[in-house]
Amino acid sequence: MAHGAYAADDVLFTNKNMARVITLNRTEKLNSLNTLMVQKIIPRLTEYAKLDVCNAIILNSSTPKALCAGGDVAECARQVMADNVQYATDFFQKEYNLNFLIATYSKPYVALMDGITMGGGVGLSVHAPFRVATENTKLAMPEMDIGFFPDVGTTFFLPRLDDNLGFYHALTGEVLTGIDAYMAGFATHYVPAERLAQLQTRVSNLNPPVINGAANEASNLRSQKDFFVQVNAVLDEFAVLKLPENYQFPLSADEIALINKSFSKSNFDDVLASFKGAGTEFGQKTHDRLAAKSPTCVRVAFELLKRGQKNSLRTQLELELTVATNMMHAKARGERFRQGRKTQASRQDQAAGLARMEHV
């Protein structure tokens, strides 16, 4: 790969008063995350973590169209087609390391999910303590449609959403917009986009506590906790705290009940049977959507999500990396990933090439 093809300013790092701002700036690709971007973000976050002041971190975008449209799947596909599987596996390892860093970060991290937030963009956001959706948010995990699986630690996060909605959105790739992303649990706050600039100013003007070192660890923890509360209070100031009178979640109570019942099954074939046997239009539609995915990919994803209900995030990310690596090696031998950006996934079983969970 010609690294020079990537702009030096695809990620911008600025100090806004007391906050540290990370701005994704690869606008021509809707901020699709590549290896070089990840390699820039990790050391900056590590540097910020070591500062004596508990600065807030803000993740935003230079375009209102997207926070991040995902990992650069197209580049991974090109590299795999050129038999450079190591590029793809290195990318996933670095990306998952970044996801873990965000999840375990000791300072307030605010992700502004304004615009398209999909795949790798979800990984940059959902592990944060503060996740802001706007009316422009379009959030999804579309990996199933390119013969892959929901990754970036979402197999840990999604099973923890209420009513098994995480299973539904992971396996169908259904897009959530605006306030729906908040109601489903992907976002912690819903803020109109016109308020984001002022919100960032208010967060940056907060006076973060000074961290005095290991000798005062207990005091530091109390101060950090108090500062998280302050950041949350600012977000609450700008958030819409009352739903519009005419608001209706896209799934009805009966549909959510069917989702919860069906994805409680331990076997994916039983999941399909549950939706089909419901005798409803929604049940049949969901059955057909799931049945249209690669039979192996959807079963691998389902098993990962089931394991994610009990595993730690670290364990789950390690498992995702193993599965991703196995898939890349299989797909390098001619599997469907090469065509994933060009056409909808075929329904043909990938069992001959893709790694099954029992071999992980």
The DSSP secondary structure of 182-235, one letter per residue, reads HHHTS-SEE--GGGHHHHHHHHHHS-PPBP--GGGHHHHHHHHHHHHHHHHHHH
In 3-state terms, what secondary structure has residue 81?
A: helix
Least confident window among 299-303, 328-332, 340-344: 340-344
Res. 227: pLDDT tops 90: yes
Please state, in angstroms and rounded to a whole number, the distance separating the CA atoms of residues 240 and 7. 37
Give percent of the chain with pLDDT exceeding 70.
89
Q: Mean pLDDT across the stretch 323-338? A: 73
pLDDT at 119: 96
What domains are defined for the chain?
Answer: 3-199+245-252 (3.90.226.10)
Sorting pLDDT into bands at 50, 70 and 90, what band is 328? confident
pLDDT at 359: 39
pLDDT at 221: 81
Res. 76: pLDDT tops 90: no
Q: Do residues 208 and 227 make contact, with C-beta atoms less than 8 angstroms apart? A: yes
Q: Do residues 118 and 70 make contact, with C-beta atoms less than 8 angstroms apart? A: yes
pLDDT at 212: 65
Q: What is the reported pTM?
A: 0.89
Contacts of 254 (CB under 8 A, 6+ apart): 280, 282
CA–chain centroid gap for 281, Å, is 30
pLDDT at 7: 67
pLDDT at 74: 75
Res. 342: pLDDT tops 50: no
Please state, in angstroms and rounded to a whole number, the distance separating the CA atoms of residues 324 and 92. 8
Give percent of the chain with pLDDT exceeding 90.
78
pLDDT at 288: 98
Q: Mean pLDDT across the stretch 86-94? A: 94
Sorting pLDDT into bands at 50, 70 and 90, what band is 6? low
More confident residue, 175 or 212: 175
Sorting pLDDT into bands at 50, 70 and 90, what band is 283? very high
pLDDT at 354: 31
Extract the tokens encoding 297. 């990919």
pLDDT at 356: 36
More confident residue, 345 or 294: 294
Taking only the tens place, the pLDDT of each residue in 137-152 is: 999 999 999 889 999 9
The catalytic residues are 71, 120, 143, 151
